[in-house]
Amino acid sequence: MSRSDDGVQKPRRFYKVVAVEARDHGHAVCLDGRPPRSPGGLPLILPTDRLANLAAEEWSRQGDVLDLGAMAVTRLAYTALEKTAPARPGIVDEVARYAGSDALCYWADSPAELVALQKAHWGAMLGWAESRLGLTLVPTTGIVHRAQSESALEAVRDHVRKMDDFALVGSAHATGLFGSSVLALALQDGRLSGREAHDLARLEETYQESRWGIDAEAADRTRARLDEAMMLEAWFSALR
């Protein structure tokens, strides 16, 4: 074990060769011929070769000390393998819950330039959700909560119930990241890239930054969130 700067112990790298092998009706990430295991003891076997290779790249990039915090694909894969099946109804409801207060439905009342941006870009995505997913969400002005119809929330549930565990866990992660089921499902569907979804989620923040500037701490948070969005784009692409 080695200690990081914050005093947390991190395991040392214990393998030399990283490879992907077809086995057990999936594709295993293998470290010196053996798959690493999740905290619950499940081997890292993924549904597609491309997803397994994304995880394998993370293991290959590790130095002498393993930084599991930098292995976003592996961590999400462990969640899909261990936790998604038993928690599936709750995850489905969580994605639908976000649709009930979707960030794209809360438009500003001023300034006019920002309102125009939201109507053009967020309005386009709400239109896509209606035509592609049968999801009709009604936007409002201001921050006071406006309940969406139960039929809208059920349309989300119907859509995400059909996903396998890996697509579902990715969609749930994206929903929380963006504060929007619409953006998450558009990314999962391939309608948006990770950067596009990230930028749409931050449309109002970006507008305010263009007027007032951005501090270093906020910039760091933005970069981290963009990295997550780009990882999710690769995740969904690898599942198709």
Spatial distance between the Cα atoms of 149 and 147, rounded to a whole number of angstroms: 7
One DSSP character per residue, 169-226 reads HHHHHHHHHHT-HHHHHHHHHTSS-HHHHHHHHTHHHHHHHHHH---HHHHHHHHHHH
Helix (H, G, I), strand (E, B) or coil at 227: helix
What is the pLDDT, as a whole number, of residue 8?
A: 63
> Cβ distance 231 to 170 under 8 Å?
no
What is the pLDDT, as a whole number, of residue 214?
A: 84
What is the pLDDT, as a whole number, of residue 7?
A: 56
**pLDDT tens, position by position, 184-234:** 999 999 999 999 999 999 999 999 999 988 888 888 999 999 999 999 999
> In this structure, which amino acid lies at residue 105?
C
Per-residue pLDDT of the chain (240 residues; tens, 9 = 90+): 445 445 567 889 999 999 999 988 899 999 999 999 999 999 999 999 999 999 999 999 999 999 989 999 999 999 999 999 999 999 999 999 999 999 999 999 999 999 999 999 999 999 999 999 999 999 999 888 999 999 999 999 999 999 999 999 999 999 999 999 999 999 999 999 999 999 999 999 999 999 988 888 888 999 999 999 999 999 999 999
What is the pLDDT, as a whole number, of residue 216?
A: 84
Interior CA angle at 36 toward 90 and 223, to 5°? 65
